[in-house]
Structure formats: structure tokens, C-alpha cells
Amino acid sequence: MLRVLRDLLRYDGRFRIAFIFLVTVVLMIFLSFISPYDPNKSFVVAMDTPPSLEHVFGTDSRGQDIFWWMTFAVRNSLLMGVIAAVISRVIAILVGLAAGYQGGWIDRVLMAVNDSFVVLPLLPILILLGFLLRDIMNLYLLGVILGFFGWPYDARLIRSQVLSLKERSFTRTAVYSGANSFWITINEHLPFVLPIVFATTINNMLWSIGNEVTLSVLGLSDLTNPSIGTALYWANQHGALVAGVWWWIAAPTVVAIILFLGLYLLFASINEYIDPRTRLRLIGG
């Protein structure tokens, strides 16, 4: 693991940028645990104060320090993305492994379900669920809901990998030795698809956080807990741009850009590193 980190830092400029951005995000998350302000309390500082040494991101019209509020927001948004990514990865692995190895009617049924999820109009469904579950909606529930919708593309990718592994000699050797299907998929095929799973996990987190921002701006998520989306929602509700409080919108926008670019560049660099051909070209092999 340390050798991989060393190679990426040495040879891949995208990973170095991602490393800096994500370290910044991690530092903000750690700072949320020592915040001098409660994010649920309003009017604890002067209102609408521009950025300064005392208030790095300024203050908002609710009397809150935006920097410290954003430390909670980025922590909650990232946690929601992790929940959605973990649930969708579990479903994608189960469906991809089973469909790819078993084949036949199991493959046809699973891929029919998979393709049905692919063509679903996701945003209208999320908006409908947001209305129906408005009284109980929170970031954790939203993460679970997004997890159940975020697996089909990656399940098909895993299936295609397993279809290739199924024809390899080590799979046939395991079959001839009497190993059952479950043992073969878990012990022989799963290690080969884990790099794909890890790379797509980062991509799925981006997708989940983006959907959370969209729903929050529409007022359809948990607006009582800080998140990147709710930061933009409250800024819009208080007419931040009209009132000239531009830093209230700039702060979550900058944090979102750092988080999204950091995750995307991490996804791109790792996705290239796990391919032996591009890895050799990257490190000059």
C-alpha cells in the first residue's frame, strides 16, 4: 500500500492534486469535532460579516460562522456518500458475480432487473420520495435510498469481468477440483474485481453527493443538518446574492469544487494505476 502511494505521488500529478484537496477536506472534518460553535444554534456571531482573520469564510444572515458550519457540512455530505457507495457496492458485487458466473436464466433475470434500474428516471423518483418521506428524511436515509439506485452500471461492469474470468484456466481447475460456485466466486473471482469496485466507489460517492446537493437545493432533504446542499439552500432562502452576501454562496461552492475535484482526480489516477498497461507507461516501465 505504501509503495502504491509512493508511486502515485511520484509519477501522477493528478494524484498529487487530489491528495492536497482531500487532505484539506479531511482537516475540515477533524476540525468539526473541535468546533467552538454548535451548527444548530443561530445568532452566535455578528451577521453578514465578510471573510476576515476572525471569520475565514465570513458569517451568514443566521448569525453563524460559515467556515465552522462548513466543517460539519462536508463531514455529513461525505458520510452520506460513503453510506450510498457501500450499499450500492454490495449490491453490484452480488449481482455482478452471480450473473457473470452462473449464466443462463439467472443471468437473464438479473440483467433484466439491472437494465430496468438503468432506464428509471432517477431525479423524478428522488423528488417523489423526497415529498413522501419529508417528515422522516435525513442524510442517512437519503444515503440508503441512493445506495439502492446506484449499483446497476457497476454490476454490469463486474459481470463483464467475471465472464472473462470464468473462461480462465484457474477457474476450470477450481471446478474440476470440486469447488462449489460460491467458493469460486468469493475466493477466485472477487479479488480480481475489487480494484474495479474501489475505483467505482469513488465515482459513486461523487454521484451521491451531487444528488444530495440537488435535492437539498430543492428543499427535499434534511434541512436541519449541515451539508453542502443545505448550505446553498439556506443561502438562497435568505437571498444571499441579492443582499450582497456573496461569500455565503462562495464558501459551499469552493468546498464542493475541492471535494469533487479531489475525488474525481483520485478516481482517474487510481483507475489508470490498476490497469497494468497504463501503470507501466505511467511509471516509465
Calculate mean pLDDT across residues 27-33: 95
- φ, ψ of residue 79 to 5 degrees: the values are -65, -40
How confident is the model over 215-252, as pLDDT tens digits?
Answer: 988 888 888 889 999 999 999 998 888 888 999 999 99
pLDDT tier, 42 (very low <50, low <70, confident <90, very high otherwise):
confident
Cell triple for residue 132?
413522501
Check pLDDT > 70 for residue 279: no
Q: What is the CATH number of the domain that holds 261?
A: 1.10.3720.10
Calculate mean pLDDT across residues 63-92: 94
Check pLDDT > 90 for residue 81: yes
Check pLDDT > 90 for residue 183: no
Higher pLDDT, 9 or 239: 239
Start-to-end CA distance of the chain, whole Å, equals 19
Domain that includes residue 40, residue range: 2-47+54-283
How confident is the model over 251-261, as pLDDT tens digits?
Answer: 999 999 999 99
Higher pLDDT, 198 or 110: 110
The total domain count for the chain is 1
Which residues are within 8 A (CB) of 24 and not within 5 positions of it... i.e. 6 or more apart? 258, 262
Cα–Cα distance, 229 to 212 (Å, whole number):
6
Candidates 68, 96, 93; CA nearest to 226 is 68
Calculate mean pLDDT across residues 150-161: 90
Count other Cβ atoms within 10 Å, centred on residue 38: 12
The most confident of the ranges 65-79, 154-168, 207-221, 228-242 is 65-79
Check pLDDT > 90 for residue 85: yes
Candidates 206, 232, 212, 241; CA nearest to 144 is 212
Which residues are within 8 A (CB) of 248 and not within 5 positions of it... i.e. 6 or more apart? 58, 60, 61, 66, 231, 235, 238, 240
pLDDT above 90: percentage of residues in the chain: 45
pLDDT at 275: 65
Check pLDDT > 70 for residue 280: no
Which residues are within 8 A (CB) of 181 and not within 5 positions of it... i.e. 6 or more apart? 101, 102
pLDDT tier, 277 (very low <50, low <70, confident <90, very high otherwise):
low
Cα–Cα distance, 221 to 211 (Å, whole number):
10
Calculate mean pLDDT across residues 41-68: 91
pLDDT at 278: 65
Q: Is the pTM of this model over 0.75?
A: yes
pLDDT tier, 284 (very low <50, low <70, confident <90, very high otherwise):
low
